[in-house]
Amino acid sequence: MAFDAEHLQKMESGIRCFNQQQYWECHEELEHVWLEDRQDPHRYVYWAVIQVAASMIHYRDDKFIGAVGMMNKAREKFKKCRELHVLSPLLEEKLQWSKLEAMVMAIPEKPEDLKLFEVIWNFRFKCFED
């Protein structure tokens, strides 16, 4: 089963927070969904966004180790989404999943600085834009 409208709806408030650069609130909103859907493989989509948001919190606070560590964890969740075949046209259309994934994957596992994180800081999901 691919990512569908029900999954997207569950993410709405977290995505709105992400788009407003309210990364802690995004993390909190999506964590509830992630915890509720323990048996659903789509939780890796939620989890990836949670970890990108957590990385952005560390980036904002200029905490290199935290930003890199969370981004590396997010990278693993993006890989898991592919492995579990949960990706869908809806995920691509509404969340620009491959664009976000490419930005995450472009950051080296051991970057020299946080400059590459800025592109993700400026990223906004297409859906639920205010």
- Which residues lie below 8 Å from residue 18, measured CB to CB, with a gap of 6+? 26, 49, 53, 124, 125
Structural domains of the chain, ranges and CATH numbers in brackets: 5-121 (1.10.3450)
Q: What is the pLDDT of residue 108?
A: 95
Where b means 16+ CB within 10 Å and e means fewer, 66-102 reads: ebbebbbbbbebbebbeeeebbbebbeebbbbeebbe
Kindly report the pTM of this predicted structure: 0.94
Sign of CA dihedral 78, 95, 34, 18: positive
Tens of each residue's pLDDT in the chain, 130 residues: 788 889 899 999 999 999 999 999 999 999 989 988 788 899 999 999 999 999 999 999 999 999 999 999 999 999 999 999 999 999 999 899 999 999 999 999 999 999 999 999 999 998 765 5
Q: What is the pLDDT of residue 39?
A: 87
Instruction: Fill in the amino acid letter for 45.
Output: V
- Which residues lie below 8 Å from residue 83, measured CB to CB, with a gap of 6+? none
